[in-house]
Structure 1
Amino acid sequence: MPRMIFINLPVSDVAASTAFYEAIGFVKNPAFSNDQGACLVWSDSIYVMVAAKAFYATLTPKPIADTQATSGALFALAFDSRGEVDAIAEAAVAAGGREAHGPEDEGFMYSRAFWDLDGHGFGPFWMDPAAVEDGPPATAEAA
């Protein structure tokens, strides 16, 4: 079995969150979705599970964070082009999310960021394949 990741997110409204993630390119897996949660597929090995807060509370003894006010994690999403980064960020805002930061261009890397309906943070980015292989370009040291 390949290594997979399932990111579980507590949400206020499963249907609205499902629609949000579908609007930005995730695909709902109905076999693992119901009124308490939905399985949203990003790739063959990456899934986002949105879970109603009451159900999510059964998965952990810890209090559920108010992600509108605090941050516990940020999820970076790699893309093949700057255009794809712009497209998902714009789709997220159009679907009711909020832009966390506009375009940031480091030359070898380009990124944007958005919050979903419940305040979970995502940072789509593109990185020059040469930087992936060799690391970021050297920067001049401060004098």
Structure 2
Amino acid sequence: MSKQVIFNLPVKDLQKSKAFFASLGFGFNPQMSGEHAANVIIEEGRISAMLMTEDFFRSLIDKPVVQAKEANEVIVCLVCDSRDEVASLVEKAVAAGGRTPHPLEDHGFMVTQGFEDLDGHLWNLVWMNAASQPPQA
């Protein structure tokens, strides 16, 4: 069964968040975007993030919105095609105003590093070399 994943993130300033993700090279679906939300295409037809103004996000739930700069509920993990893609996305995120919460970790068969976006949401980027992964027990 094929699935599409769309995750929703509250943002303080929709225009700044759109500019941040555009600077990382992501596009937007105009049919699913408007005044209060923007749909970031991560992988066409498979994965996207809906950036929602905090007021719009709040209208869909019955509890407080977590302030991601103060507490985290989730880390979004993206598997990248190469070590260079991990490094490039982190570099672009930092240049656009994000930060790195931890240094690059190189485990030989896997490289991981992440960034925090403008609203404090954590994104972890991973590249795995299938040829050198340790055998599974």
The answer to whether structure 1 residue 38 and structure 2 residue 38 are counterparts is yes
The 3-state SS of whatever aligns with 1:130 is helix
* % identity of equivalent residues: 39
Structure 1 residue ranges without an equivalent (≥5): 139-143
Give 1:130 shift.
2.9
Aligned residues, how many?
A: 135
1:136 to 128, 134, 137: 134
Any runs of at least 4 consecutive aligned residues in structure 1 with deviations exceeding 3 A, and if so which?
135-138
Equivalent residue for 2:106? 105
Whichever structure has more strand as a proportion of its residues is 1
8 Å Cα contact 1:38/1:49 also seen in 2: yes
Structure 2 residue ranges without an equivalent (≥5): none
Equivalent residue for 2:24? 24
- How much is the aligned-residue C-alpha RMSD, in angstroms? 1.5
Equivalent residue for 1:53? 54
Deviations 1:51-97 (A, max 9, x none): 00000001111210010010100011111110110000000000111
Alpha carbons of 1:62 and 1:136: their partners in 2 closer, same or farther (altered >3 Å)?
farther
Separation in 2, partners of 1:41, 1:55: 20
Q: TM-score, normalised by structure 1?
A: 0.89
Larger Rg: 1
